[in-house]
């Protein structure tokens, strides 16, 4: 079975950099609003995970969650977490690095 979330080499390198600065991390796929639809990176435990969140898997040894409602739209896709130049979400840890995490997706066969 294919993993539901994976990360590019660039994303994995950034995760290691952030773990060295902040310790254990977690991700949550934002569903829009203030930061658009982007993967948000937090220190592990900083974001309250509830019954309406789905654990998709791990990237770089970090848990990756998505809301159940958003998962219903994306359940037939694999999320590919990448890094691109630019400012990330204002609450996501990669912001000061001058890059941001980006979600790409592909439909499962």
Query: Which candidate, 106, 86, 83, 89, places its Cα nearest to that of 16?
Result: 83
Give the separation between CA 11 and CA 108, rounded to whole angstroms.
Answer: 21
Give the separation between CA 4 and CA 2, rounded to whole angstroms.
Answer: 6
Give the separation between CA 51 and CA 21, rounded to whole angstroms.
Answer: 30
Q: Which two tokens stand for residue 94?
A: 């990669």
Tell me which of 82 and 35 has the higher pLDDT: 82
Q: Can you give the pTM of this predicted structure?
A: 0.91
How confident is the model at residue 35, as a pLDDT? Answer: 47
Q: What phi and psi values does residue 106 have, to the nearest 5 degrees?
A: -140, 145
**pLDDT tens-digit map of 37-94:** 789 999 999 999 999 999 999 999 999 999 999 999 889 999 999 999 987 667 899 9
CATH architecture of 5-95: Sandwich (2.60)
Is 30 a residue whose pLDDT tops 90?
Answer: no
């Amino acid at each position: 079975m294919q993993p539901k979330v994976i990360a590019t080499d660039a994303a994995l390198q950034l995760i290691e950099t952030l773990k060295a600065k902040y310790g254990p991390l977690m991700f949550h796929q934002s569903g829009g609003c203030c930061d658009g639809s982007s993967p948000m990176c937090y220190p592990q435990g900083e974001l309250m995970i509830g019954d309406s969140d789905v654990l998709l898997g791990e990237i770089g040894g970090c848990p990756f969650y998505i809301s159940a409602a958003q998962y219903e739209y994306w359940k037939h896709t694999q999320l590919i977490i990448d890094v691109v130049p630019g400012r990330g979400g204002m609450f996501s840890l990669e912001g000061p690095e001058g890059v941001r995490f980006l979600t790409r997706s592909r439909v499962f066969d």
